Amino acid sequence: MGIGSMVDLIGVGLLLAALALMLTTLFNTQGANPKPQSIVLRSEGPVFLFDGDVLVDCNASARAVLARSITRGGDWQRLLAFLAKYFDNIDEKLAQLPRLGAMAEIAETNSGKAMLMQAELNGGLTKIALTDPDLADGPGVALAMSHRALETEVQELRHAVASSPVLMWRESPTGDVTWANNAYVLLASAAQTSRRDLGRRDLGWPLPRLFDRAATLQSAQGQRQSVAIGAGKSAWFDLVTQTEGAGMLCFATPVDAAVNAENTLRDFMQTLSKTFAQLPIGLAIFDKDRKLQMFNPALVELTTLPPDFLTRRPTMLSVLDAMRDRNLLPEPKDYHSWRRQIIEMERAAATGLFQENWALPDGQTFRVTGRPHPNGGLALMIEDISGEMQRSRRYRSDLEISQSVIDRLEDAIVVFDQGGHLLWCNTAYSTLWNHDPAASLGDSSIRSVTAQWKTLTAPTQLWIEIDEFIHTIGNREAWSKDLRLLDGRLLTCAVAPLAAGSTMVAFRSTGPKRTGSGLDHLPSSATAAR
Label residue 118 left, alpha or beta by phi (over 0 means left) and psi (-120 to 50 means alpha).
beta
In a domain, 394, yes or no: no
Q: Could you give the strand order of the β-sheet that contains 102-108, starting from the edge strand earlier in sequence? A: 54-58, 47-51, 125-131, 114-122, 102-108
pLDDT at 438: 73
Higher pLDDT residue, 349 or 59? 59
In a domain, 5, yes or no: no
In a domain, 459, yes or no: yes
- Give me the phi and psi of 244, to 5 degrees please: -130, 95
- Among 102, 103, 126, smallest CA distance to 51 is for 126
The residues that bridge with 356 in the sheet, in sequence order, are 368
In a domain, 302, yes or no: yes
pLDDT at 279: 83
pTM, entire model? 0.44
Confidence of residue 417 (pLDDT cuts 50, 70, 90): very high
The 3 state secondary structure assigned to 452-479 is: HHHCCECCCCHHHHHHHHHCCCCCCCCE
pLDDT at 196: 53
DSSP-assigned letter for residue 514: P
Range with the lowest mean pLDDT among 80-89, 149-158, 315-324, 431-440? 149-158
Statement to judge: residues 57 and 142 lie in one domain: yes
| pLDDT value at 520 more than 50 | no
Statement to judge: residues 111 and 208 lie in one domain: no
Statement to judge: residues 202 and 240 lie in one domain: yes
In a domain, 361, yes or no: yes
Contacting residues for 360 by C-beta, under 8 A, at least 6 apart? 327, 328, 329, 330, 366
In a domain, 274, yes or no: no
In a domain, 172, yes or no: yes
Higher pLDDT residue, 140 or 462? 462
Instruction: Please say which residue of 159, 194, 209 terminates a domain.
Output: 159
Can you say how many angstroms the Cα of residue 108 is from the centroid of all Cα atoms in its chain? 51
- Among 185, 189, 179, 174, smallest CA distance to 249 is for 179
pLDDT at 187: 86
pLDDT digits (tens, 9 = 90+) for 216-246: 666 556 688 888 877 778 888 888 888 888 8
Q: Which domain holds residue 479?
A: 403-509
Rounded distance between C-alpha atoms, residue 426 and residue 409, angstroms: 8
Statement to judge: residues 322 and 338 lie in one domain: yes
Rounded distance between C-alpha atoms, residue 368 and residue 106, angstroms: 84
Instruction: Please say which residue of 353, 388, 423 terminates a domain.
Output: 388
pLDDT digits (tens, 9 = 90+) for 372-409: 888 888 888 899 988 888 888 888 888 888 888 888 88
Statement to judge: residues 294 and 371 lie in one domain: yes
pLDDT digits (tens, 9 = 90+) for 45-84: 789 999 988 999 998 888 888 887 777 788 999 898 888 8
Statement to judge: residues 173 and 190 lie in one domain: yes
Give the E-state strand segments of 213-330 in sequence order: 223-230, 233-244, 247-254, 282-286, 292-295
Instruction: Please say which residue of 388, 419, 448 terminates a domain.
Output: 388
Rounded distance between C-alpha atoms, residue 151 and residue 153, angstroms: 5
- Among 453, 473, 475, 474, smallest CA distance to 464 is for 453
Is residue 368 within 8 A of residue 284, CB to CB? The reply is no
pLDDT digits (tens, 9 = 90+) for 15-27: 555 555 554 444 4
Instruction: Identify whether 206 is preceded by a cis peptide bond (ω within 30 of 0).
Output: yes
Statement to judge: residues 206 and 244 lie in one domain: yes
Statement to judge: residues 252 and 349 lie in one domain: no
Count of domains for the chain:
4
CATH number (domain holding residue 204): 3.30.450.20
Contacting residues for 509 by C-beta, under 8 A, at least 6 apart? 489, 490, 491, 492
Handedness of CA 193, 195, 198, 203 (dihedral sign): negative
Statement to judge: residues 316 and 350 lie in one domain: yes
pLDDT digits (tens, 9 = 90+) for 69-128: 777 788 999 898 888 888 888 888 898 998 888 888 888 766 666 778 899 998 889 999
Statement to judge: residues 132 and 69 lie in one domain: yes
The 3 state secondary structure assigned to 163-208 is: HCCCEEEEECCCCCEEEECHHHHHHHHHHHHHCHHHCCCCCCCCEC
- Among 147, 146, 107, 135, smallest CA distance to 43 is for 135
Rounded distance between C-alpha atoms, residue 469 and residue 492, angstroms: 17
In a domain, 476, yes or no: yes
Statement to judge: residues 55 and 153 lie in one domain: yes
The residues that bridge with 354 in the sheet, in sequence order, are 370
Statement to judge: residues 377 and 295 lie in one domain: yes
